[in-house]
Structure 1
Amino acid sequence: MIDIAVQAESQWPQDIDWEALATRAATAAIGRTPQGGWLTDPALIEVAVRLTSDDEVQTLNRQYRQKDKPTNVLSFPMIQSDLLDTVTQNSDDGEVLLGDIVLAHGVCAAEAAERGISIEDHATHLIVHGCLHLLGHDHQNDAEAEAMESIERSTLAELGLHDPYPIED
Structure 2
Amino acid sequence: MSIEVLNESGEVPAPVAEQELHDLARHVLDQLRVNPRAELAITLVDEDAMTALHVQWMDLPGPTDVMSFPMDELRPGSDSETPEGVLGDVVLCPSVARAQATEAGHSVEDEILLLTTHGILHLLGFDHAEPAEEREMFDLQRTLLLTYLAQRGRTTTAAPDASTEH
Cα RMSD for the two superposed structures: 2.4
Kindly state the Cα deviation for residue 134 of structure 1 after the two structures are TM-superposed. 0.6
Larger radius of gyration: 1
Unmatched runs of 5 consecutive residues or more in structure 1: 90-94
Kindly state the Cα deviation for residue 76 of structure 1 after the two structures are TM-superposed. 0.2
Kindly state the Cα deviation for residue 18 of structure 1 after the two structures are TM-superposed. 2.8
Match of 1:52 among 33, 45, 54: 45
Kindly state the Cα deviation for residue 8 of structure 1 after the two structures are TM-superposed. 0.7
Unmatched runs of 5 consecutive residues or more in structure 2: 150-154
How does the TM-score come out when normalised to structure 1? 0.78
Task: Note closer, same or farther for the CA distance 1:67–1:87 as it changes in structure 2 (3 Å cut).
Answer: farther
Superposition map of 1:48-87 within 5 A: 48-80=41-73
CA contact (8 A) 1:138 1:145 kept: yes
Q: Could you tell me the percent identity over the aligned residues?
A: 33
Counterpart in the other structure of 1:26 = 25
1 or 2, which has the higher helix percentage? 1
Q: Does 1:164 align with 2:160?
A: yes
Kindly state the Cα deviation for residue 119 of structure 1 after the two structures are TM-superposed. 1.5
CA contact (8 A) 1:4 1:19 kept: no
Q: Does 1:153 align with 2:153?
A: no
